[in-house]
Amino acid sequence: MDLFNNTILITGGTSGFGLEFVKRFLELGNTVIITGRNMAKLEETKKRFPQVHVFQSDVSDIEHIGKLFSQVTQRFPELNILINNAGEMRKISLNQRHELTDLTREIDINLSGPIHLVQQFLPHLKTRKKAAIINVTSGIALMTFPVSPIYSASKAGLRAYTKALRVQLRHTGIKVIELVAPGSNTPLNEKFTTDRAVNAGALMPPDKIVEAAIKGIKYDQDEVYPGLSKLIRVMSRIAPDFLLEQASKAGKEFYSAN
Ligand SMILES: NC(=O)c1ccc[n+]([C@@H]2O[C@H](COP(=O)([O-])OP(=O)(O)OC[C@H]3O[C@@H](n4cnc5c(N)ncnc54)[C@H](OP(=O)(O)O)[C@@H]3O)[C@@H](O)[C@H]2O)c1
């Protein structure tokens, strides 16, 4: 897919991968629209990239999605790419008590959010000559990360959903791409900085991940596996139990305590 002159909506465009996408897509000559919950972060991004269009919107809120759809498609009827990037990741010990109202927040943001956004924007994307949906999953979609059980479930779910979506849209002109991102040094990962993978320097810089994603979109790849994600993909097939044991070491004291 040609990455020039598109109109691209990126959820969670104010930090990490989203912010890198903003920078690169603007450099390539596209119109870029972003969302986020925090208005100050949106204003800061607008200050840094005056061409970017910002909308305060929470992907886990169905009313916000409806409102975002009307506002964006009215102002940008040429919108043809949706990037489901917004996400959250928490350490959760299932041995502790949790409010049920908050426990599944990562499912609401990382899984239900993209599902609702796709359904809302799909009729519009079908009217465009070339269109794409890019869902950002994770190496953790292939390899459960026990210290983040709900996040693991959300990303494995998003991967399954993305595969089904691709099959169901085969007869349309819409490309469905999964970015299977490896661990990266973004704000999402800050609370994991004492964990092994982070200390072992296994993190890939966000600009490299976004560069790989852009290459993948350009060359019409269905799934993009930057850096360590390639290895996780192979290991998840040939040695899944070993992979789980390695992943279980991160945050063991935290999730084992009653
Ligand atoms: N960093 C990694 O190691 C890694 C690895 C694999 C996959 N990923 C995935 O990559 C994506 C981006 O992660 P990142 O590392 O770039 O995270 P990040 O730096 O924390 O940025 C997350 C972005 O999403 C926005 N966001 C969060 N919840 C939202 C919501 N409910 N509605 C709208 N926007 C929301 C945030 O802004 P507000 O807080 O203002 O809403 C922010 O702009 C996520 O889906 C993540 O799961 C990350």
- Domain of 69 in residue numbering reads as 7-256
- Taking Cα atoms as reference points, which of 170, 175, 154, 153 lies closest to residue 223? 175
Which of 15, 22, 178 has most ligand 1 atoms within 8 Å of its beta carbon, as the pocket-test mutant? 15
**Residue closest by Cα to atom 1 of ligand 1:** 184
Ligand 1 pocket, 41 CB below 6 A? yes
The answer to the question of residue 2 being in a domain is: no
The answer to the question of residue 1 being in a domain is: no
User: In the prediction, which pLDDT does 192 show?
Assistant: 78
149-159 tens-digit pLDDT: 999 999 999 99
pLDDT band at residue 193, thresholds of 50, 70 and 90? low
Is the C-alpha dihedral spanning 70, 162, 145, 150 positive or negative? positive
Calculate how far, in angstroms, residue 17's C-alpha sits from the geometric centre of ligand 1.
Answer: 8
CA dist 181 and 226 (Å) reads 6
Which of 34, 37, 104 has most ligand 1 atoms within 8 Å of its beta carbon, as the pocket-test mutant? 37
CA dist 70 and 173 (Å) reads 23
The answer to the question of residue 150 being in a domain is: yes
Helix H or strand E segment including 6? none
The answer to the question of residue 40 being in a domain is: yes
- 3-state SS, residue 249: coil
When divided into structural domains, the chain yields a total of 1
**One-character DSSP codes across 84-139:** E---------TTS---HHHHTHHIIIIIIHHHHHHHHHHHHHHTSSSEEEEEEEEG
Ligand 1 pocket, 186 CB below 6 A? yes
φ, ψ for residue 118 (rounded to 5)?
Answer: -60, -50
pTM score, whole prediction: 0.97
Calculate how far, in angstroms, residue 196's C-alpha sits from the geometric centre of ligand 1.
Answer: 21
- Decide if pLDDT at 194 tops 80: no
Is 151 in the active site?
yes
**Residue closest by Cα to atom 36 of ligand 1:** 12
Ligand 1 pocket, 136 CB below 6 A? yes
pLDDT band at residue 200, thresholds of 50, 70 and 90? low
How distant, in Å, are the alpha carbons of 137, 196, 200 from that of 30? Answer: 23, 38, 37
CATH number at residue 202: 3.40.50.720
Cα angle value 139/140/141 (rounded, 5°) = 90
201-232 tens-digit pLDDT: 689 999 999 999 999 999 999 999 999 999 99
Q: Torsion over CA of 86, 226, 137 and 237, rounded to 10 degrees?
A: -170
